[in-house]
Amino acid sequence: MGAVLGAFSFASWMPCLCSSATCLMCSCCPNSRNSTVTRIIYAFILLLGTIVACIMLSPGVEQQLRRIPGFCEDGAGSSIPGLQADVNCEMFVGYKAVYRICFGMSMWFLLFSILMINIKNSRDPRAAIHSGFWFFKFAALVAVTVGAFYIPDGPFTFTWFVIGSAGAFCFILIQLVLLVDFAHSWNESWVDKMEKGNSRGWYAALLAITILNYILSFIAVVLFFIFYTKPDGCFINKFFISANMLSCIVASVISVLPKVQ
């Protein structure tokens, strides 16, 4: 319910982003004092950046990106930093754009995260920056992102690839912990209701959800083998898919042992 109200509140002042600079300087455009609205706006900005990054991988956009000076040196003869092989620039330039968009967004969010350190309440002067001045913050985001496209290639792409890989690993690890915690809390809640109320109904619901999740997991494994492996190659992909599947089976068997329970 709060998210719905926040969305309507966000829509009510959305025209402020497109109004004149005079209006903004005179502070006639309201700030988003509601923390829910502020979170929705930041999430929307992150989603918007993700969509733009996906668009940058489109073939038509890649042709336009090649016109940026220094963005795709020497045309199709460019080489990926850190790799001893030449690649087709048309196939690689889209990924360069994604790295630069993500770089701009990362620097923007990092700047505000540092700026908002140790804010205790909304009366802090920095809190107004956090929940207001959206036009200027959005303009700064666009400026940083556009400026990233003019960074000389050099080691930038490979360095940002390494940083992105490390960040993706940490993100997946955190999401895995949160997912396991969610499943554990869900199971505890339903088991508690099963012991206190209609035991057969809650037991059937818990069993049905468990079977459904196992079926979805099996389907996912099959799809992984279909789309991410080949009969005569992709041994690393096969290894990780098989290792994850076996780990899930072993964990499932261990979890139902009497000593573990």
Instruction: Kindly write down the DSSP assignment for every residue of 80-112, as one continuous string.
Output: -TT-SSB--HHHHHHHHHHHHHHHHHHHHHHHH
Question: Residue 198: left (phi > 0), alpha (psi -120 to 50), or beta?
Answer: beta
Residue 120 is encoded by which pair of tokens?
């205790």
Q: What is the pLDDT along the chain (261 residues), one digit of tens a residue?
A: 333 334 433 444 444 444 433 344 334 444 445 678 888 999 999 999 889 888 877 777 766 766 766 666 544 444 444 443 444 555 556 777 888 888 899 999 999 889 888 887 777 788 888 888 889 999 999 999 888 888 877 788 788 888 888 988 999 999 989 998 998 898 888 888 888 877 788 888 888 999 999 999 999 999 999 988 888 888 899 999 999 999 989 988 998 888 877
Considering only CA atoms, give the Rg of the chain.
25
Helices (H), 149-198: 156-196
Is the full-model pTM beyond 0.85? no
pLDDT of residue 66: 67
**Residue 135: phi, psi to the nearest 5?**
-60, -45
Strand partners for 233: 230
Q: Which DSSP string do the residues of 201-257 spell out, in sequence order?
A: HHHHHHHHHHHHHHHHHHHHHHHHHHHH-BTTB-HHHHHHHHHHHHHHHHHHHHHTS
